[in-house]
Structure 1
Amino acid sequence: MSSLKTDILKLLSNHEHISGQKLADELEVSRTAVWKAVQNLKSEGYIIESVQNKGYLLKEKTSHINHSALLNMVEYSRHFDVLHFKESIDSTQLLAKSLINRTDEQFIVVALEQTAGRGRFNRPWASPKNNGLYISIVLKPDISLSEIIRFNLFMSLAISEALDQSFNIESGIKWPNDIYINDKKVCGFLTEVLSEDHHVTSIICGIGINLFDNDYLKSLGTATSIENESGKGNINIEHFLSTFISKIDEYYELFLSSSFDIIKKDWIERSIIFGKTIRITEMTRTYYGKPVDITDDGFLVVIDEEGETHKVISADIEL
């Protein structure tokens, strides 16, 4: 997928002046179309200088999520060809589920703002405009329903590695769906499926990443942002998005072709729960214990205070 805006950005990426006429000729559009696209890019936060008799110069890329950067991200993905972009929406997850039966393709839904974002156990996920990446990815693998637990482990490692490589930080994973930095939550994701006869027809994985600080995050005391942990000057959105989708592609392919054992060592090294006593809340009980292992199927193995061993599949974990 491409657009005139992303094509112009590619041509301006060498940070040299290029005339409007040269851009128009190269892209086989009118100079007016080039001018309009440049104005749209400026509105998305790109700083583009226009000098008479020299042309356009890209001086600075945007630091916020925007349509052009997202289109560029999808263009380089090996698994996603379609992007559904919204300025504001109730939930990317809800829109993704409503679109599934309209296409056989795998696709992505992204919004700059969610008014009814939610996480695991139907908890609200604050999604203020231009403060984070709010994205739902729709995958259509040929797997059994029991594989979904393992899917979460591959995705959590993909996200954690993408954050570390993009922002020079050290993130950790709280089983199974949360990413932490310095003991504070920076990302959570929710995996839902459509299935028939214990066979998955679609995976809808909604991911929320806190990129920038806001008053709500500060009031929580238990959450953080990339801006707070790495500094605003270190947020290169285009680099982050390309790294993010590359890691999603890589670990999705590993998930389809390999057992959990191939990433188990890396996953446990990134985990923030091993060696600690945690509080486990399941549907009918709450107890304390220490994690000792993760099975190949993705079950968390915990030994409680009485010495009894539990295999945890779906629970709320608190440190």
Structure 2
Amino acid sequence: MSVKDAVLKALEEARGEQISGAALARTLGVSRAAVWKAVGALREAGVAIDAAPGGGYLLRTEDDSLTAAGVGALLETEAFGRELLVMPSLTSTNTVLKQEYTAKPHGFTLIALEQSGGRGRLGRSFASPPGSGLYISVLMHPRFPLDKLHFVTVAAAVAVCEAIEQTAGFTPGIKWVNDVLMEEKSSVVS
């Protein structure tokens, strides 16, 4: 993990609380200058980090920047998402995952904020402009018969609904096997 990702992970775990640069440096085994440089790079990437002389660094509670370190700090899973990559834009998370990341371990997750060539069921084009959603593909190396593979899509849709309910306080529905409905709008899980 890079110093930048390690600093963001530490700030994410203490979101809303100040951590001194010296404490971060000591915990991460790097210099205070490396912490300062990492904070600068994070700010340049749009992460809302405040700093107070003598008080340390603070990740604002309202910051909603999506980064691999930020997601990793909040995960409670053993494998899924433990290794992940967040990209601002891709042609298609599924296509890129198949072309470039098949050697990654089970659970590797690829997230994009925008897709220029997303596909839905039956190869239909899938609109995925920036600011309208998250586009996620997870690499799996299943250890069960291929005729049971269709259950993965159902389980993913249920998991998405449960995560939304736990974090947003309302329960979306499932239409078909991979459409998650929120306020009568559909979002595809595949």
Bin for the TM-score computed over the shorter chain: 0.7 to 0.9
The one of 2, 7, 10 equivalent to 1:8 is: 10
State the AA in 2 paired with 1:150: F
Q: CA deviation at 1:174?
A: 0.4
Question: Does the 8 Å CA contact 1:6/1:71 hold for their aligned counterparts?
Answer: no
> Are the counterparts in 1 of residues 11 and 58 from structure 2 also a CA contact under 8 Å?
no
Once residues 46 and 153 of structure 1 are traced to their aligned partners in structure 2, the CA distance between those partners, rounded to angstroms, is 34
Query: Residues 72, 84 of structure 1: CA spacing in aligned structure 2 closer, same or farther, 3 A cutoff?
Result: same
Contact persistence 2:85–2:110 (CA under 8 A) = yes
Aligned to 2:160: 159
Shift of 1:101: 4.2
Alpha-carbon distance in structure 2 between the residues aligned to 1:127 and 1:68: 23
- How many pairs does the alignment contain? 187
Indicate if the aligned counterparts of 1:65 and 1:130 stay in contact, CA closer than 8 A: no
- Which protein is bigger by CA-based radius of gyration? 1
SS in 1 for 2:158: helix
Do the aligned partners of 1:48 and 1:56 also contact (CA within 8 Å) in 2? yes
Could you list the runs of 4 or more consecutive aligned residues of structure 1 that deviate by over 6 angstroms after TM superposition? none
Distance 1:180 1:20, change over 3 A: same
Kept in 1: contact 2:88–2:112 (CA 8 A): yes
Percent identity between matched residues is 33
For structure 2, the 5+ residue unaligned runs are: none
The letter of the residue matching 2:129 is P
State the SS of the aligned residue for 2:149: helix
Question: What SS does structure 2 have at the residue aligned with 1:41?
Answer: helix
Change (3 A) 1:89 1:72: same
Bigger strand share: 1
Q: What is the identity, as a one-letter code, of the residue corresponding to 1:173?
A: I
By how many angstroms is 1:45 displaced? 4.2
How far 1:24 moved relative to its partner? 1.5
The CA distance in 2 between the partners of 1:34 and 1:154, in whole Å, is 40
Deviation at 1:71, TM superposition (A): 3.5
Cα shift at 1:44: 4.5
* Residue matched to 2:67: 66
Aligned to 1:121, the other structure's residue is in SS state helix
Q: What letter matches 1:8 in structure 2?
A: A
2:111 — aligned with what? 110
RMSD: 2.5
Residue pair 2:79, 2:107 contacting (<8 A) in 1 also: yes
* CA deviation map 1:59-78 (0-9, x unaligned): 3342242333233356x421
In 1, the alpha carbon distance for the partners of 2:48 and 2:8 equals 14
Query: TM (normalized to structure 1)?
Result: 0.52
Alignment correspondent of 1:124: 125
